[in-house]
Amino acid sequence: MDISTSVKFLIEQALAEDIGPGDLTTEALIDPELQGQATIVAKQDFLVAGLEIAGQVFHTLNPTIEFKALLKDGGRAAPGEVLAEVYGPVADLLRGERVALNFLQHLSGIATHTHKFVQAVAGLPVKILDTRKTTPGLRLLEKYAVRMGGGHNHRFGLYDAILIKDNHLAAVPSLPEAIRRARIYAPHGIKIEVEVSSIPQLKEALAAGAEAILLDNMDVLTMREAVTLAKGKAVLEASGGVNLKNVREIAETGVDMISIGALTHSAPACDISLRLSILSPHTPGK
């Protein structure tokens, strides 16, 4: 991935949070000249995401550190497999260890969790989407991890799509009026999506010209009816209460997209460790 200025700033903030004014243990125990090799090792089966971020953590601490990724993001790791090798001053390897692993474990967890949903709907013409239910400050990285798991990104923020939800409608005279106002304001190329929770609302949204409709917490039978009504008129997104047990049944209704907040807010972190070995004081990484 292209590591943007915002991601570099995020890494700097994470390191500052962890190291603060200094790593007391490392400064007390470790010779600054001591060189080492670290291996980052998978302790379970998972889909990898965030290796470049982990490398950037070490490079931020010390540009002379050599980070050698042995797998690519989106690839599968097996238990005991080495993901990357890192060479440099032991003190900097220790300082960067936790932050690098935190990013890698979290992002790999999202990629792995996403891939389970993608596999669950394999063979069906539906996209698995993320949502804005992301960790504050980590959205760019978490949505990247979703892509590494085979999922697709919904809007990145409030600035790149129009989605009229129930709380918007509570402040507007009617759904058709909300769509009318949105159409006047929308920049060129921005589609108007409306959240509905019933068939009457769906019909109202279709009549008003909504281009995309989010079916909020509808049961499967109602979704099937919605698909029939909206065919050729609007794309449909199912959302709410989606899990690995019901995602295929939802996909089989014929909806175009399924958005799942759990991809980012409930993905378990992967088990990854860093193992350190000591080189002679001035041995460069190879």
The SS3 of residue 188 is: coil
Compute the half-sphere exposure of residue 250: CA atoms within 13 Å on the CB side of its CA.
Answer: 28
133 is catalytic: yes
Task: Say how far apart CA 195 and CA 172 lie, in whole Å.
Answer: 14
Percent helix, strand, coil in the chain, to 5, is 40, 20, 40
Contacts of 135-141 spanning 24+ positions with Cβ under 8 A? 135/264, 135/265, 137/10, 138/10, 138/106, 140/4, 140/6, 140/7, 141/7, 141/10, 141/50, 141/53, 141/103, 141/107
Give me the catalytic one of 165, 166, 177, 219: 165
286 is catalytic: no
Give me the catalytic one of 98, 191, 203, 248: 98
Closest CA relative to residue 236, chosen from 223, 217, 222: 223
Alpha helices for 121-243 (secondary structure H): 139-148, 166-169, 175-185, 199-207, 220-230
180 is catalytic: no
11-to-18, 40, 94, 100 alpha-carbon distances in Å: 11, 18, 16, 9
User: How many CB atoms sit inside 10 A of residue 51's CB?
Assistant: 25
Annotated active-site positions, please?
98, 133, 165, 195, 216
